[in-house]
A and B are shown apart, each in its own frame.
Chain A
Amino acid sequence: MRAGLGINHREPAGIILPGVSGTSLPDDATLMQQVAQGDRRAFLSLYDKYAVRVHGLSLRMLRDAMSAEEVTQDAFLRLWTRAQTFNPDRGRVLSWLLAITRRLALDRFRLDSRAPPPSESDNPGEDLEGLPDESSRTEEARWRSLRFALADLPVEQRLPIELAFYHGLSQREIAEHLRIPLGTVKTRVRLGMDKLRRAWATDPIQSGRR
């Protein structure tokens, strides 16, 4: 059976069609305004752009593919339902979305009463591949510097920071988990975070690290 006629491949006029990307996308803040008005195409544009980042963080925190995927889905549902609360003056869409993802993942930890991970820090070098190279003269370069700074921390300082940030433990809970005095945890968190703060404040281009 033959069917169909000849096709003219001209560029279509603007129309909302789910899942179809245009040749030039508006910026994130504009997309968020469109999402707030119920534009599914804008939503899917943001999903296609940031799903790998959101899911990467979910998986990094939860270490379980199914749970991570649920959190990723919930994060994007939050983006859909709360887009009108996003204020571009307070930061980037990706940071807003990742902050939501972290909160959802921490909620999942608490909901599942999940035990913290083993008392070993991650291998901080394993995540370096996903970061932009140092020639990137943008905020991404600072993330790379921060990653190196985190990797440079002594493990006894890095571990409590990771337990606090990625697993939502308080300093008291960290002390119980690691079976070390609370005062020791406080000292290590303070020293480690101070190093990260100084690393962040250092211009990664001018410092020319690594």
Chain B
Amino acid sequence: MAHKEQQLLGAYVMGALDSDERIELEAHLGTCQECQAELVEYQQVTEGLLHLATPVAPSSGLRAGLTARLAGHPGTPLSPRRPGLIRGPQLGFAALVVALLVLNGALILETRRLAERGQELLAQQEASQTALALASYSTSQTAFVQEESIWGTFVYEGNFPLAVFNVWGLPTLPEDQAYQLWLFNPDGTRSTGALFRTSTSQDLISVLIRSPVPLGEVLGFGVTVEPNTGSPAPTGPRIIGADFDHSP
């Protein structure tokens, strides 16, 4: 037998009822098994609606950004970058907080600087963890490189598309420049393995290298100075690099 409450189930599962109707329906659901069964069917419909969107790949930077945010924080809560839904009285408080933040420009700049420093440290930690993992493989290789006062090691395992470049003595660059590490592909092209900068606070940095193919297929690498947004192909002078010898 149909109930008038049954007519509300479709809107209810989408959260589209006004509060008085929702309360009335929920009270009814507590006692009506027929409506409970139908509710399950409507919930399956809304679950199905979630799956109908065309799959779209996000930018590759999103994965890298997530990886950086998770590095060094296993299992610890991370606050989403944006707050969730703010309701009622919370809105006034939130507006006050926002207003204070906007007024205090110096605080925001400092927060941003600390955030950037935090990202830098997280990237360092991720590189260190990867180096540690690579070091545990008996098949990992270490390429030693030196150019004048610059020393480095390139640690990789041929089956993996990840490597770590440890380098000492790279000069600090102007704000508008960065070091770009290029991987030499068998077809003669160059792929970006990393884009990084050095800090005046440390002489040694470890850089996580991402390769489009396992490192066993890469012929070598080189580091050049490029604009801080990176270049599609090397344009600056080669600072340091090496060819890999994969012969047994």
Contacts and interface: CB of A to CB of B under 8 A. Distances in A.
Interface of A: 1-12, 15-20, 36-40, 43-44, 47-48, 51-53, 55-57, 59-61, 68-70, 72-74, 76-78, 80-81, 91, 94-95, 98-99, 101-102, 104, 106-108, 110-111, 126-127, 129-131, 140, 142-143, 146-147, 150, 161, 164-166, 168-172, 174, 186, 189-190, 192-194, 196-197, 200-201
A196 B126 CA distance: 48
Given A1-B242, A56-B53, A189-B11, A18 B130 contact: yes
B55 interface: yes
A80 B159 CA distance: 28
Contact of B46 (A8, A57, A165): A165
A210 to B, nearest CB: 15
B64 to A, nearest CB: 9
B52 A131 contact: yes
A115 B225 CA distance: 46
A143 B145 contact: no
Contacts of A3: 143-145, 154, 242-245
B66 interface: yes
B35 interface: no
Given A59-B56, A161-B14, A165-B49, A39 B74 contact: yes
Given A6-B248, A12-B137, A19-B161, A130 B53 contact: yes
Contact of A4 (B161, B241, B244): B244
Interface of B: 7-11, 13-18, 38, 41-42, 44-59, 62-63, 65-67, 69-71, 74-78, 80-86, 126, 129-130, 133-134, 136-139, 141-145, 154, 157-162, 210, 216, 241-248
Contact of B11 (A12, A72, A164): A164
A40 B74 contact: yes
**Most chain B beta-carbon neighbours within 10 Å: one of A3, A140, A196:** A3
Contacts of B7: 186, 190
Contacts of B129: 18
Contacts of B78: 77, 80-81
A53 B53 CA distance: 7
A200 B48 contact: yes
A147 B8 CA distance: 22
A55 B56 contact: yes
A201 to B, nearest CB: 6
A85 B144 CA distance: 47
A186 B12 CA distance: 11
B121 to A, nearest CB: 16
B52 A108 contact: no
Contacts of B38: 197
A47 B63 contact: yes
B42 to A, nearest CB: 6
Contacts of B158: 7-9
A163 B199 CA distance: 50
A174 to B, nearest CB: 7
A112 B126 CA distance: 34
A2 B245 contact: yes
A80 B74 CA distance: 9
21 contacts: A3-B154, A6-B247, A12-B157, A15-B136, A51-B58, A56-B56, A60-B54, A69-B58, A73-B65, A78-B80, A81-B78, A99-B50, A111-B83, A150-B49, A164-B14, A193-B9, A193-B10, A196-B45, A196-B49, A197-B42, A197-B45
B48 A193 contact: no
Given A77-B69, A77-B78, 8 more contacts: A3-B144, A9-B159, A12-B157, A17-B134, A53-B55, A69-B58, A101-B50, A193-B14
Given A3-B244, A99-B50, A164-B11, A20 B160 contact: yes
Contact of B44 (A81, A168, A200): A200
Nearest to B86: A111
Closest 10 pairs (CB-CB, A-B): A193-B10, A38-B74, A38-B75, A3-B143, A130-B54, A7-B158, A60-B53, A6-B248, A52-B55, A98-B50
Contacts of A47: 63, 66
